[in-house]
A and B are shown apart, each in its own frame.
Chain A
Amino acid sequence: GAGVSQSPRYKVAKRGQDVALRCDPISGHVSLFWYQQALGQGPEFLTYFQNEAQLDKSGLPSDRFFAERPEGSVSTLKIQRTQQEDSAVYLCASSPLQGLLNYGYTFGSGTRLTVV
């Protein structure tokens, strides 16, 4: 596709429920990032993939958060036993491997997760 696609666009989950958020990066993009954006704040880094390898997961807030990219394209961010503090917009970004060198990363529009 022309851009980074994220689904669902909105998700309401009951506290304790597991959720899965999907990211379809631009075809051929090697690098994929997940960010979390709380209301009124800037996005915060969660994790980074280079192809199927998760090279950095230092930003994942707890072991309830898990991300995968098994075939090096589509990625899924899973949150187990959701809590109210998980309510945020989850953003996905992708780029060619040397993307930041030239023109930065392309972000999707995000998934707004609300935990009730």
Chain B
Amino acid sequence: DAKTTQPTSMDCAEGRAANLPCNHSTISGNEYVYWYRQIHSQGPQYIIHGLKNNETNEMASLIITEDRKSSTLILPHATLRDTAVYYCIVIRKQGGSEKLVFGKGMKLTVNP
């Protein structure tokens, strides 16, 4: 599975949009981009995933570049509860047995 590169950390003001970048320049055509986050003392939480098209759900939006070499997770109105470590993962679907490879992720701190 392709490796990903994320900044180590990022700060964001409460109420503003948080744009979290991820580079995955070696991604293959059949690999998906997944985002998880981990709030302190909790297990990782699924946020969103995509293949080529931009995606939006109740939590966030995912923007994938046309060449698929990078993506951005957007939290439209960040709250203090969004402070967490965010993981960008690239993975090929295998029908339910996929091993998530997390990396170190990026620490997002939302400030009041």
Contact = CB atoms under 8 A, between A and B. Distances in A.
Interface of A: 4, 30-31, 33, 35, 40-45, 48, 50, 55-56, 59, 91, 93, 95-101, 103-110
Contacts, number: 67
Given A91-B43, A93-B43, A105-B46, A98 B99 contact: no
A106 B95 CA distance: 16
Interface residues of B, number: 24
Interface stretch (B10-18, B22-30, B34-42, B74-82): B34-42
Contacts of B100: 33, 35, 43, 45, 105
Interface of B: 34, 36, 41-46, 49, 85, 87, 91, 93, 95-105
Given A42-B104, A91-B44, A104 B49 contact: yes
B49 A56 contact: no
